[in-house]
Amino acid sequence: MSTFWSGWIIVLTVGNILACVWLVWWTMKKRKDESASGDVTGHTWDGDLQEYNNPLPRWWLWLFYITLVFGVIYLALYPGLGTFAGITNWTSGGQYEGEMQVAAETYDPIFEKYAAINIEELAKGGEHAEALEMGKRMYLSYCSQCHGSSATGAVGYPNLTDGDWLWGGEPARIKESIVQGRNAVMPPHAGRIEGEKLDNLVAYVQSMSGMSVDTASAEAGKADYTALGCIGCHGVDGTGNTMLGAPNLTDDIWLYGNSAGVIKQTILEGRNGQMPSQQEFLGEDKSHIIAAYIYSLSAK
C-alpha cells in the first residue's frame, strides 16, 4: 500500500471517530430554542402523537463513549490504520502459524507412531482401531468431496470400496496415489476413427465387459482396437495396466459410464482426470493413516 493511501485511510478513520465524539456531544448540548426537558417540542403526528424532549439515558450515552474508546484502543493494538501494524504486531498469518505449531506439537507424535506401523496391520483395526478412526475422520475432511462420504465415488471419481484400482490396490500404491497424485492419460482419437468404425469399436469395448451387443459389429471393432493402439494401455485382453492407470475393460466397472454415447466421448475426446498430490498438504504420516483406512474399505 502506498504512503498516500495509507495516510488517506488513517485520516478517514480518525476523522470518523472524532466526528462521532462531536456528534454525541452536540446532540446532548442544550440549545437556546430548545424546549425544556420533559416538555413537548411542538411536533405532532397522527393528530395527537407528540414528541417530548427527553434526554437519552445516561447508561446509553456512556455506551456510545465506551464504543469509541474501544475503537481507539483496538486501532492502537491491532492493524486498522493503513500500514500501521499496531503495537502487538498481530497478523492473521502469524496467528495461523502459531496455531499450526501448537497442533503439530500435539498431534504429530501420534501420526508418527502410526506411520511406523505398516498399512496392512493398521487396516486390521483391533489394537489400531484408533488409527482407522483417525484415518476415517481425515478422509471425510479431505477426500469425501470427490469420492463421497461412503467412498463409493461418483462419475469420474473412483469407487474406493469395490477392489477395482486404476493404479493398483496394494497399500504402497494407494499411499503413492495420495502423496504423489495421479494424472489420467487417455488421449483423444477424434479424426482417427469415426462413423461405423467408431460404432464397431464401442461395441467391442462393451462386449469385453459382457454387455449384449451386435456380434458382427463387435468382431469388426476388435481389429480397430488393435490398430488404434488400445492394446498398448488396456492390453490385448482388455484387463488394463495399473502402471499407466489404464482401466480394466472387462470387469463391468466404469468410471464415466458404460453407455455407447459416453464411451464414444471417451474415445474421441480422451480423459484427463486428476488426483491432486497431497504431499505438501497432508505429508507422509497423515497420508499413511488415510491409506490404511482406504485399504481397509476394500480389503474386507
Reported as a single tens digit per residue, the pLDDT across 235-275 is 999 999 999 999 999 999 999 999 999 999 999 999 999 99
Q: Is the pLDDT of residue 140 over 70?
A: yes
The answer to the question of residue 93 being in a domain is no
| Residue 266 phi, psi (nearest 5) | -65, -45
Mean pLDDT of 181-190: 92
pLDDT in tens, 35-64: 556 677 777 888 778 887 777 778 888 899
Same domain, 228 and 241: yes
Q: Where are the beta strands (DSSP E) in the chain?
A: 40-45, 49-52, 182-183, 274-275
The answer to the question of residue 56 being in a domain is yes
Report the length, in residues, of the chain.
Answer: 300
| pTM for the full predicted model | 0.74
Q: Is the pLDDT of residue 185 over 70?
A: yes
- 208's enclosing H/E stretch is helix 195-208
Same domain, 155 and 290: yes
Same domain, 122 and 224: no
pLDDT in tens, 64-74: 999 999 999 99
Same domain, 223 and 295: no
Last residue of a domain, one of 88, 114, 130: 88
Same domain, 106 and 250: no
Same domain, 202 and 70: no
Q: Where are the beta strands (DSSP E) in 123-277?
A: 182-183, 274-275
Same domain, 175 and 201: no
The answer to the question of residue 29 being in a domain is no
Q: What CATH number did the domain enclosing 229 receive?
A: 1.10.760.10
Q: Is the pLDDT of residue 219 over 90?
A: yes
Count Cβ atoms within 10 A of the Cβ of residue 73 and give its class: 0-12 exposed, 13-18 middle, 19 or more buried: exposed
Q: Which residues contact 71 (CB under 8 A, 6 or more apart)?
A: 17
Same domain, 130 and 235: no
Same domain, 282 and 178: yes
The answer to the question of residue 284 being in a domain is yes
The answer to the question of residue 190 being in a domain is no
pLDDT in the model for residue 38? 65
Averaged confidence pLDDT in the chain: 91
Number of structural domains (the chain) is 3
Structural domain that includes position 147? 100-184+277-299
Read off the amino acid at residue 105: E
Same domain, 113 and 64: no
Going from the C-alpha of 189 to that of each of 115, 222, 246, the distances in angstroms are 43, 16, 16
Mean pLDDT of 1-24: 90
pLDDT bracket for residue 176 (50, 70, 90)? very high
Mean pLDDT of 96-107: 93
Same domain, 81 and 218: no
The answer to the question of residue 31 being in a domain is no
Read off the amino acid at residue 264: K
Mean pLDDT of 23-31: 74
Same domain, 61 and 84: yes
